[in-house]
Amino acid sequence: MVLKVNNVPPLDLSRQYAQIGDEMATAVQKVLASGAYIGGPAVKTFEQEFANYIGVSDCVGCNSGTDALILALRALKIGPGDEVITTPFTFFASAETVSAVGATPVFVDIDSATFNMDLDRLEAAITEKTKAIMPVHIFGQPMDMTRLMDIANKHNLAVIEDCAQSVGAEWQSQKVGSIGHVGCFSFYPTKNLGACGDGGAATTNDPALAAAMRRLKEHGQSSRYFYEEIGYNSRLDALQAVILSIKLRYLDSWNAQRRSIAALYGEFLSRVPGVVVPKELPLAKGVWNQYTIRLSPEDAPNPSGNFRDSVRTKLQECGVGSMVYYPFPLHLQPVYKSLGYLPGELPQAEQVCCEVLSLPMFPELSRDQQERTIYGLKDSLAVAAQIQ
């Protein structure tokens, strides 16, 4: 057998399968034999377990994280004429869902140290049309939810937490997804709690909101074959639910492993010139869906992303994979041209898109692979700086 000792992939899901594959297969077989593929006890059980884990009264399973956001927006009666404030530095779905329900996303620049929405700029973006704030705990790092909720309450705004990358993360010992009015989770395979396919959930402590989201995910059906609104077909499959129930038992230990990898990366990389390591707020406990650094040639801004891209190429040549989350901010995406944002308007997000590099991060990443990543990055930076 040839050992590919030099290769460090950005993500390797097969390692997790090797750990719990048998356990998952047994549970999947049981569902296959039961004939209950949609709804049924497996989905109910997972919804209860997940609600308990997050610390809320209700969990509504659905087809994806994207659908969870749509269900939350619709349940809060957000639609045409309304504005929802979010971040330009996130996966497209955060803003896309706002547009999908007919409302308008309003982007607030980020704090480049945490990559999250800059709360110093939030209040200036609130208008009489604003109905909700959608914070995104990007890369698994919780926002300052105390301050965000103070601002939301002062202006009587709903808060939809996009927790797609932050399952298990905590702000002041409270799980994200239990602090705002609704928390929206994705079980896409690369998220910290990943299904073997698509899946999502919305969490809330408001029974009326939970009931509204349950109706909406079943075609807007309020009682059997009786419809008062247009909904969706968005269900969590029983097969995914049993897989998620098993993985939920491992989530805390997997997140702890991510935290220790992040600690090692931080310890070594914070001393490397040209690297800015991500900051975790003192009251936050992040879960590191991504470990994302910023790269700039020393003392020089990097407006094109060329420096980052050449480091990334060199790193790949060292056998270390990496990813760029995200290369373009949402306010400058072609689809949002009509919103009228101009280059330079949200400078932190724009700058960060040219500097970010996400390093290999998954719970099973070995100490050897972590060290290869660190040394590979140091070497790649040195080479890229010479070319510069």
Ligand X SMILES: *Cc1c(COP(=O)(O)O)cnc(C)c1O
Among 2-10, 61-69, 248-256, 260-268, the segment contacting ligand X (CB under 6 A): 61-69
Separation CA 130–CA 158 (nearest Å): 9
60 near ligand X, judged by CB under 6 A: no
Position 244, amino acid: L
Tokens encoding 371: 């060290």
322 near ligand X, judged by CB under 6 A: no
Binding residue for ligand X, selected from 66, 292, 348, 369, defined by CB under 6 A: 66
91 near ligand X, judged by CB under 6 A: yes
CA 367 to chain centre: 25
Among 62-70, 245-253, 263-271, 358-366, the segment contacting ligand X (CB under 6 A): 62-70
165 near ligand X, judged by CB under 6 A: yes
143 near ligand X, judged by CB under 6 A: no
Among 38-46, 54-62, 91-99, 358-366, the segment contacting ligand X (CB under 6 A): 91-99
Least Cα distance to 370 among 263, 290, 261, 254 occurs for: 261
135 near ligand X, judged by CB under 6 A: no
Among 11-19, 36-44, 64-72, 120-128, the segment contacting ligand X (CB under 6 A): 64-72
Residue/partner pairs of 273-276 with CB below 8 Å, 24 or more apart: 273/298, 273/381, 274/298, 274/381, 274/385, 275/377, 275/381, 276/113, 276/355
50 near ligand X, judged by CB under 6 A: no
Residues of span 94-123 touching ligand X by CB under 6 A = 94
65 near ligand X, judged by CB under 6 A: yes
Q: Report the alpha-carbon angle 52-57-58, nearest 5.
A: 95
Position 68, amino acid: A
Q: Report the residue number, 59 or 377, with the smaller CB distance to ligand X.
A: 59
Residues of span 170-209 touching ligand X by CB under 6 A = 186, 188, 198, 200
CB 62 within 8 A of CB 202: yes
Encoded one letter per residue, x for contact with ligand X by CB under 6 A and - for no contact, window 330-349 reads --------------------
CA 300 to chain centre: 30
Least Cα distance to 258 among 136, 167, 324, 327 occurs for: 167
The site for ligand X (CB under 6 A) is made up of: 64-66, 90-91, 93-94, 136, 162, 164-165, 186, 188, 198, 200
